[in-house]
Structures are given as C-alpha cells and as structure tokens.
Amino acid sequence: MGLKVEAERGVGAAGPLNVEEIRKDFPILNRVINGRRLIYFDNAATTQRPIQVVSAIARFYLLHNANVHRGFHTLSQEASEMFEEAHEVLAHFINAYSWDEVILTSNTTEGINLVAYTWGLKNVGKGDEIVLTVMDHHSNMLPWRKLAELVGAKIRYVDITDDGLLRYDQLEEVVSERTKVVAFPMMSNVVGTMNDVKKIVKIAHSVDAIAVADGAQWVPHAPTDVRDLGVDFLAFSGHKMLGPTGTGVLWGRRDILEGLEPFKCGGDTIKDVTLDSVVWHDLPWRFEAGTPNIAGAIGLAEAAKYLMRLGMENVREHEKELLRHTFKRFEELGDDVVIYGPKDVEVRGGVVSFNVKGLHHHTVGKALDLFGIAVRTGGHCAHPLHYRLGIKGTVRASYYIYNTAEEIDEFVEVLKTIVRLKDRLAKEPVEDVCTGG
C-alpha cells in the first residue's frame, strides 16, 4: 500500500495551539448545561469528536458503505482501500515500521487481552512472574492476573512514592530471571504520572522479558514513537484521542506477532481452511476476526490526521500550560483541597485528581455539574492505586486540546463556592457507586 498521510507525523503547525479555532470544530462545547456553557473536563474518560471525524464516518456510510476484503465490486474496493489506509495513517501516527504491525481493536482493553491470550499463553508458565504496577488501570492489571491464574504464574507489583512517582528502584529489585512480562501504564489515569518508558523497557529487556505499554492516556497527549521507545507491545484507544468509541490499536513488534496465532478465530483470519487444517492469514488480518468496525477505523484515522496537523508536541505543551495554571489557581483553595500526584508538569499529563476535605467525591462531582462542569468521580478503574493513596475515590479533571485557562478560572471559582458550602453539602446523601475510565 502507498502511504497517503496528509501531515508530517507529530509536527503540524508550529507554535501554540489556536484553541479558539479548534473549539469551532466541536459543536458540543456550545451546549448549555444547567444554564451555563459546558466546560468539559472528562477527557481522560473519553474526548469529544470534531466535525471532521463525524463527517468522515458519515461519508463512508452515505457514499462508500460495503464490507471489506469480500468483493470485487466498486463499493467493496473503495471500502477496503479506506480501511487499509486507516492502518497506514495509524502506523504513521506512532512511527511504526510498517502498517501491518498495526492491529485494529475495539479499545485498549482488547489489545492487552490479545497479548495476554496469544503471547502470554504461549510463553508464560508455572513459576514464571509477571510484573505490574500499583498505578495500573484495571484493563492492564486484570488480564495478566487472569493469565497468571490459568498458568500458575506469579504477579509481582511495583509501588509508587508518596507523590505518585513509580519506584524504579523497586522495579529493578522485583524484575528477575523469572520475569516474563513487565506491563505498565505509560501515564497514570489518576495521578497523571508520565512514566520513564525507556527506563522500564531497559529493565525488562535486561532479563529478556517483554515490555507491554498501556498507552491509553499517553498516546492522545504526547508524541509517540514506538521505534524510539523500544516497547514490544503498545495498546491505546481511539475514543480518548478524538476517535469513535469501539476503536483502538494494538501495535506489536513484527518478529513477535508473526509467531503468534489468533485468539479470536473466524472470517478474515485465514488464508485457507480444510476439514483438518488451517493456514492463518498474514499480519494484521489474522488478528482482526470477522467484519471489522470499518467506519470506526476510518473515523480513528481522521482523528489521527487531525492531531498530526496540530502537532503532538503542541498538544503536549498546551496541556502543560493548563497544568501550570491549574496548580497556581488551586493555591487559592488552601488546605481545603488535596491534589494527588506529582506537581512537576514535565512528568505529569493533563490529569488533576483531587478531593475536597469533608466532602465525598461524588458530591463534589454532582455540585460541579450544577455549574455545567463535567468531571469524573470515583475509582477510575484504578482501585488499588486509590487504596495505596489511602482513599476510596477522587474527583478528576482532565484536559485536552479545546480546554482553556479561562475554563480553569471558572472551575476554581466554583470550587471556592463548594468549599464555602461544604458543611451543607456534606449532609447530602451519597450513593457510593464505582465509576470507571
């Protein structure tokens, strides 16, 4: 296939993001919630979609809709070309060596499960060890725990410091000749810590273990170069980077992928089948069973093009500026508000998890919604991390390309009101439900 990407990978326009122009691409930001214009600070759970992505999906369904790899008629050929181009665009986005290393999945969770049930079942056995971290999202923790149960392997955990940084000294101690897998979040979805990926990979490879990176929170927010990072597998979700829900990517090293068989079998995974044998398809098709989410893949590719035009370095710098502004304004809240995680914006992504002393996190979230501010509350699918911090949940504000310092100003002013009214708010009944993301 010939590469058709329209923008240089991760470069885009020079200089700061033009947020005012960007916001014009997101009509939902003009919604009025409870009499106030929406402030959307729930981007770590899912981002909004620009009109370019929605239009790309609509164009496919209105003008090109057909199944892929199934026919020689014009519509099928067009759909197949668009679907295959999506692999190329996404390969370009993460600087993969080739488009066929890119496996389209439904989300990060499926990508990590794919690794666990293909590579893991083949290579991890009784007595082997899998190294995880206390800051892992459940989607990177539970598949490996299930694998360990199935094969009799042992899970080892790496702790964090009190300010939310990974204990690299402990990682070096825990990793041993028995270690087969080191699976880790590139960025925490709670404390925002951006881990030293190259350092983790070096430690894993020192004992010939594979390094599996959960990129759900990193890839949408910072330049990602799989060649430079050195990971063996990288999984991320489309809906956290302006793409449709139900889309994602698993990238893997070709030499590893070629030795694996699919864990979901069926249509499009084979070259030939007899009553006694099967010949599996080439990469990546052997791992993309059945009719795929064609429109979703096209929408995700459009999202990647959008971000590449902006420049991922610019996306990262914008969020660092928002973090600096947040930490400065939060000083006005004094001891009434506790922020979790590192304060150094160089090692933190655009996630701010906090609690208001004396108030349940759900109470704070509901109060913010009354002012049109959307945040996430709960355990954020990272319960062990919250227990490590000595809490049951947090309020999480998370930023993206369309958020502004002015929104943060309004956010802080509302928090001041909540703090003033906390004695009254504390009397409100709270249903202690778990929210993920």
- pLDDT, tens digit, 9 for 90 and up, residues 250-276: 999 999 999 999 989 998 898 999 999
- pLDDT cut 90: percent of the chain above it: 92
- Is residue 202 located within the same domain as residue 224? yes
Instruction: Identify the pLDDT of residue 7.
Output: 45
- Is residue 249 located within the same domain as residue 380? no
Domain boundary among 251, 281, 309: 309
Is-contact 125 151, C-beta < 8 A?
Answer: yes
What's the CA gap between 87 and 161, in Å, rounded?
Answer: 39
Instruction: Identify the pLDDT of residue 11.
Output: 44
What tokens were used for 378?
Answer: 């709960």
State yes or no: cis peptide before 262, omega within 30 of 0: no
Q: For 347-373, write each residue's pLDDT tens digit.
A: 999 999 999 999 999 999 999 999 999
pTM: 0.95
- Annotated catalytic, 381? yes
Instruction: Identify the pLDDT of residue 331.
Output: 98
In this structure, is residue 25 part of a structural domain?
Answer: no
pLDDT band at 9 (very low <50, low <70, confident <90, very high): very low
What is 154-221 written as a DSSP string?
A: EEEEE-B-TTS-B-HHHHHHH--TTEEEEEEESB-SSS-BB--HHHHHHHHHTTT-EEEEE-TTTTTT
pLDDT band at 71 (very low <50, low <70, confident <90, very high): confident
In this structure, is residue 359 part of a structural domain?
Answer: yes
Domain containing 300: what range? 57-309
Order of strands across the sheet that contains 351-356: 337-340, 351-356, 394-398, 376-378
- Is residue 116 located within the same domain as residue 75? yes
pLDDT at 79 exceeding the cut of 70:
yes
Instruction: Identify the pLDDT of residue 434.
Output: 57
H-state helical runs in 196-290: 197-205, 226-229, 254-257
Position with higher pLDDT, 8 vs 73: 73
- Is residue 268 located within the same domain as residue 325? no
- Is residue 241 located within the same domain as residue 366? no
In this structure, is residue 186 part of a structural domain?
Answer: yes
The overall average pLDDT reported for the chain is 95
Domain CATH for 335: 3.90.1150.10
Q: For 13-44, write each residue's pLDDT tens digit.
A: 567 999 999 999 999 999 999 999 999 999 99
Instruction: Identify the pLDDT of residue 433.
Output: 59
- Is residue 212 located within the same domain as residue 84? yes
Q: What is the mean pLDDT of residues 370-393?
A: 97
What's the CA gap between 107 and 104, in Å, rounded?
Answer: 9
* Among 135, 381, 408, 415, the one annotated catalytic: 381
Instruction: Identify the pLDDT of residue 428.
Output: 79
In this structure, is residue 31 part of a structural domain?
Answer: no
Domain CATH for 285: 3.40.640.10
Q: What is the mean pLDDT of residues 275-301?
A: 95
- Is residue 289 located within the same domain as residue 377? no
Instruction: Identify the pLDDT of residue 432.
Output: 62
What tokens were used for 48?
Answer: 């909004």
- Is residue 295 located within the same domain as residue 380? no
- Is residue 228 located within the same domain as residue 85? yes
Domain boundary among 309, 343, 364: 309
What's the CA gap between 359 and 361, in Å, rounded?
Answer: 6
- Is residue 295 located within the same domain as residue 337? no
Is-contact 193 341, C-beta < 8 A?
Answer: yes
In this structure, is residue 52 part of a structural domain?
Answer: no
- Is residue 228 located within the same domain as residue 96? yes
- Is residue 330 located within the same domain as residue 232? no
pLDDT at 247 exceeding the cut of 90:
yes
In this structure, is residue 3 part of a structural domain?
Answer: no
pLDDT at 202 exceeding the cut of 80:
yes
In this structure, is residue 7 part of a structural domain?
Answer: no
Q: What is the mean pLDDT of residues 184-206?
A: 98
Q: What is the mean pLDDT of residues 133-141?
A: 98
Q: What is the mean pLDDT of residues 390-411?
A: 98
